[in-house]
Amino acid sequence: MKFSLSIAMNPLDQLGELARAAEEAGFSSIVLPDSLFYSEQVSADYPYTPDGSRFWTADTPWVDPLVATASMGAVTERIEFYTSVLKLGSRNPVLLARQVNSVAALTGGRFGLGLGVGWSPEEFEWCGAPYEKRGKRVDEAIDAMRLILDGGMVEYHGEFFDFDKLQMSPTPPKRVPFYIGGHTEVALRRAARVADGWSSAMMKLDDLRTTIARLKELLAERGRADDPFEYQAVCIDRFGLDGYREQAEAGVTDIITMPWVFEGVGFEAEVGPKLDAIRKFGAEVIAKFGE
């Protein structure tokens, strides 16, 4: 079992200390969220809350996840980083490939790219990308980025993206894994087609169990039943050693967590209590999980 630390919505001046503490405590990865901006009005519901509302405000701190990875990678040695998830629909895949290539090289290959379509029409439109046909555009963008990031001289000619032969150097020291987010059937099929893993938003264990079972069916249909595949989960109703073991039994391979939440420490709190919570989680959960 892997354990990953989410740094969503924490003050930016704390990120380096949180990353170092997570590495020392035995966490496998740092998980980075993505939000481009907070629009005063939004014309679609947020898909991962019961009432469709956003659970952050205009003043909640966000940082570009690739910039954050470069910053935290510079003060750590072993811990890995991945986005969960970066909104691909509003971004140009060639420019994004340049950024991912750079951060993967600068961190010695300690970076994985978690991708989603995006849910806010404003993020698409105000960044110059159409909201219509977003799923098909994202599928093309993923294919184009995979070509570029795997190295060498490549070209791509699709309905939405088109470029002649190009090469980005240096090639990352190891292949950048792609993880796909989303709970819909379309998202699960996309993960089974192109991804090295799937990343959940907030889900209950029973829903995780059903979703993982479906993903395994889809992987088998594509002849990928025996391929390595990560199931990264934010489970909202099973905690503690027994709860994490239940997640593992359901098929989760990577538990995403924020240890300070269990200690009653808020996002805006000073860094000291968060560091204490990370160390406690490492000693009482990570170190004992396999016993």
Using pLDDT thresholds of 50, 70 and 90, give the confidence band for residue 1: very high
Mean of the per-residue pLDDT values for the chain?
Answer: 97
Tell me how long the chain is.
291
Query: 216 lies in a domain?
Result: yes
Structural domain boundaries enclosing 168: 2-286
**pLDDT tens for residues 123-147?**
999 999 999 999 999 999 999 999 9
Query: 72 lies in a domain?
Result: yes
Structurally, the chain folds into a number of domains equal to: 1
**pLDDT tens for residues 263-281?**
999 999 999 999 999 999 9
Residue 92, pLDDT > 80, answer: yes
- Span 184-207, average pLDDT: 97
**pLDDT tens for residues 4-51?**
999 999 999 999 999 999 999 999 999 999 999 999 999 999 998 989
Look at residue 158 in the predicted model and tell me its pLDDT.
Answer: 98
Q: Please report, for the domain that includes residue 254, its CATH number.
A: 3.20.20.30
Residue 291, pLDDT > 90, answer: no
SS3 per residue for the chain = CEEEEECCCCCHHHHHHHHHHHHHHCCCEEEECCCCCCCCCCCCCCCCCCCCCCCCCCCCCCCCHHHHHHHHHCCCCCCEEEECCEECCCCCHHHHHHHHHHHHHHCCCCEEEEEECCCCHHHHHHCCCCCCCHHHHHHHHHHHHHHHHCCCCEEEECCCCEEEEECCCCCCCCCCCEEEECCCHHHHHHHHHHCCEEEEEEECHHHHHHHHHHHHHHHHHCCCCCCCCEEEEEECCCCHHHHHHHHHHCCCCEEEECHHHHHCCCCCCCHHHHHHHHHHHHHHHHCCCCC
Using pLDDT thresholds of 50, 70 and 90, give the confidence band for residue 228: very high
Query: 291 lies in a domain?
Result: no
Query: 215 lies in a domain?
Result: yes
**pLDDT tens for residues 51-75?**
999 999 999 999 999 999 999 999 9
Cβ-Cβ contacts under 8 Å for 45 (sequence gap 6 or more): 52, 53
